[in-house]
Amino acid sequence: MRVLLLGGTEFVGRAVSEAAVARGWDVTVFHRGRHAPPPGVEALHGDRSLPDGMAPLQKGEWDVAVDTWSGAPRVVRDTLRLLDGRIGHYTYVSSRGIYDFPVPAPLTEERPVVAGSPDDGDTDYRNAKAGGEVAAEQALGGRALRVRPGLIFGPRENSGRVPWWLRRAARGGLQLAPGPRTASLQYIDVRDLATWILDAARNHLHGAYNLVCPPGHATTEDFLTACVEVTGAGAELRWIDPEPILKAGIRPWTGLPGWLPPGEMHELLHRTDVSKAVAAGLRCRPVGETVADTWAWLRAVEGDVPEGSQSRYRVAHELVDLDPDVEAKLLAG
């Protein structure tokens, strides 16, 4: 298989590139040159947001194209116009964030999404992904595969969420653990995402798919316990109910990354229906493996630096450091 990765050097695209190379497929990555490409690929350089930025893509044919673009939707539109007739299967990596909330749970692929435009320039992440999907549908009709992940974990994670929790656990001592401990945590390991995308391309799947682990695959307790165990600093989890956490001014999702208190948003984002993807071959590794491999990567690139909560790598979503005094008061309460 000849694969074109539009992106392919940082996180999701890189995982797809590496998985394709491991299969013996011929991989071309088209990127801006900000990160070193994975070994074993052909690298083309350009910036799709510039008028002549796609010149290197004017020639060539590929069986599979995977696009992780999250900027101006018109870039997806223009890319597909340029590649018209020269790619076989096309995957656009979108997001569950495009759903038009509030919607009743369970969140299935049939739920309405925000009205994105393929002609938009720079816009927010949600509308950018929605517009990218529309661009793919208009260019390819029903032949576009639109993948909708949520939280994406694993080595090279560039959102900073798992590194945040790992660094907190690495400081040891009593640690705030947001309840309920049995709450479902939905995410996707980037390597499982990559495997599913390549299998879907090989099997010519099209349409929209939610791509996270099934509800109940992991709980908040499973995740935080894994962080404590792999860091080996002896942190002791102290489970706190959502009410005092919220009263202390700690923001869900960003103040405690990925955490949401019980309610509509938790039901939507951590109990999403993924039966369609599971039927199409989705398999998810244990959360402990994801956490351990992320910790090994983090230590390899940054050393044993437990202070602070965020990776030095790009943080795609704004996270907030947890005030030690606020945490101490909650733990003492």
Q: What is the CATH number of the domain that holds 24?
A: 3.40.50.720
Of 332, 180, 198, nearest to 266 (Cα)?
Answer: 180
Structure tokens at 49: 């947001």
pLDDT over 70, % of the chain: 95
CB within 8 A of 52, min separation 6: which ones?
A: none
277 within a domain of the structure (yes/no): no
* 8 A C-beta contact, residue 324 and residue 195: no
110 within a domain of the structure (yes/no): yes
275 within a domain of the structure (yes/no): no
Number of separate helices (H) and strands (E) present in the chain = 11, 13
The Cα 277–Cα 267 span in angstroms is 19
Residue 304 pLDDT level (bands cut at 50, 70, 90): low
Tell me which residue range forms the domain holding 227.
158-185+216-270+286-332
Amino acid symbol at 5: L
Same domain, 200 and 306: no
Length of the chain as a residue count = 333
* 8 A C-beta contact, residue 220 and residue 270: no
Is 128's pLDDT higher than 90?
yes
Residues in a beta bridge with 3: 27, 64
Is 305's pLDDT higher than 70?
no
The Cα 169–Cα 158 span in angstroms is 19
281 within a domain of the structure (yes/no): no
Average pLDDT estimate for 155-177: 95
Same domain, 94 and 235: no
Amino acid symbol at 98: I
Average pLDDT estimate for 235-241: 98
Same domain, 115 and 246: no
> At which residue do the structure tokens 């660094």 appear?
167
81 within a domain of the structure (yes/no): yes
Of 281, 266, 265, 180, nearest to 222 (Cα)?
Answer: 180
Question: Taking the model in full, what pTM does it have?
Answer: 0.95
* 8 A C-beta contact, residue 276 and residue 129: no
The Cα 196–Cα 282 span in angstroms is 6
How many C-beta atoms surround the C-beta of residue 19 within 10 A? 23
279 within a domain of the structure (yes/no): no
Structure tokens at 121: 């320039």
Same domain, 255 and 142: no
Range with lowest mean pLDDT among 32-41, 68-77, 301-310 = 301-310
Range with lowest mean pLDDT among 118-122, 128-132, 188-192 = 118-122
Residues in a beta bridge with 239: 177
276 within a domain of the structure (yes/no): no
118 secondary structure, DSSP code = T
184 secondary structure, DSSP code = B
Residue 174 pLDDT level (bands cut at 50, 70, 90): very high
pLDDT, tens only, 14-67: 999 999 999 999 999 999 999 999 999 999 999 999 999 999 999 999 999 999
Same domain, 177 and 197: no
Same domain, 29 and 142: yes
101 within a domain of the structure (yes/no): yes
Of 160, 149, 332, 305, nearest to 248 (Cα)?
Answer: 332
Same domain, 63 and 132: yes
Same domain, 203 and 166: no
Going across the sheet that includes 42-45, the strands are 42-45, 26-31, 2-6, 62-67, 87-93, 144-149, 207-211
Same domain, 304 and 178: yes
How far from chain centre, in Å, is Cα 61? 28
How many domains does the chain contain in total?
A: 2
Residue 318 pLDDT level (bands cut at 50, 70, 90): low
Q: Outline where the chain has alpha helix (H).
A: 12-22, 73-82, 125-140, 161-170, 190-202, 220-231, 242-247, 264-270, 275-279, 287-302, 324-332
Same domain, 302 and 236: yes
Is 310's pLDDT higher than 80?
no
Same domain, 70 and 87: yes
Same domain, 21 and 138: yes
